[in-house]
């Protein structure tokens, strides 16, 4: 009495369930990452769970789950790159190119998952007076104080 053609267990015994579970892939069993204890794996797993529960109400198809996994990994990688940029206070052209490609791919994946997201259109029908009046209402920007060191 093992697993049927559809993958269902006929008898429901513990040994049949173990055999079926061990015959499935690690991703299907929920062990997506080799070592789920690293901060990278924990963050990716948290994002996957968050997207699955909130965006798709826990009812995701296999293709949606695949997109969710890829989007979560890209988010973690973009966050990692952002942290690296902040620590070094700079980024190489290759790092920026990777970041740009990753962010664009992430945007496209998220658009597939949430097609109802509204696009925000800019108002290009402003007169110059409208534009400058908005600038007057904007909060003042902080200006850096220049400290001159005394000449030795």
Q: Annotate 5-54 with three-state secondary structure.
A: CCCCECCCCHHHHHHHHHHCCCCCCCCCCCCCCCHHHHHHHHHHHHHHHH
5 domain-assigned: no
Question: Which is higher by pLDDT, 54 or 48?
Answer: 48
66 domain-assigned: yes
Cα–Cα nearest to 71, from 52, 96, 94, 58: 52
Q: Check whether 35 has a pLDDT greater than 70.
A: no
* Domain extent for 102: 33-116
Q: Tell me the per-residue pLDDT of 10-31, one tens digit each, with 9 for 90 and over.
A: 455 666 666 655 565 655 555 5
92 domain-assigned: yes
Q: Check whether 9 has a pLDDT greater than 50.
A: no
49 domain-assigned: yes
Does this model's pTM top 0.75? My answer is: no
Task: Enter the DSSP assignment of 3.
Answer: B
The pLDDT confidence band at residue 73, using thresholds 50, 70 and 90, is: very high
152 domain-assigned: no
Q: Check whether 148 has a pLDDT greater than 70.
A: no
pLDDT at 6: 46
Q: How many domains are contained in the chain?
A: 1
């Amino acid at each position: 009495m093992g697993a049927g053609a559809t993958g269902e267990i006929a008898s429901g015994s513990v040994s049949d369930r173990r055999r079926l579970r061990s015959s499935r892939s690690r991703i299907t069993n929920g062990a997506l990452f080799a070592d789920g204890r690293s901060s990278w794996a924990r963050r990716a797993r948290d994002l996957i769970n968050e997207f699955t529960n909130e965006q798709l109400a826990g009812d995701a198809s296999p293709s949606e789950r695949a997109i969710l996994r890829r989007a979560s990994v890209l988010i973690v990688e973009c966050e990692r790159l952002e942290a690296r940029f902040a620590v070094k206070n700079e980024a190489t052209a290759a790092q920026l190119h990777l970041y740009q490609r990753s962010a664009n791919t992430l945007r496209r994946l998220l658009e597939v998952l949430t097609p109802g997201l509204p696009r925000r259109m800019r108002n290009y029908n402003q007169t110059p007076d409208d534009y400058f009046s908005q600038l007057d209402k904007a909060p003042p920007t902080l200006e850096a104080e220049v400290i001159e060191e005394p000449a030795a």
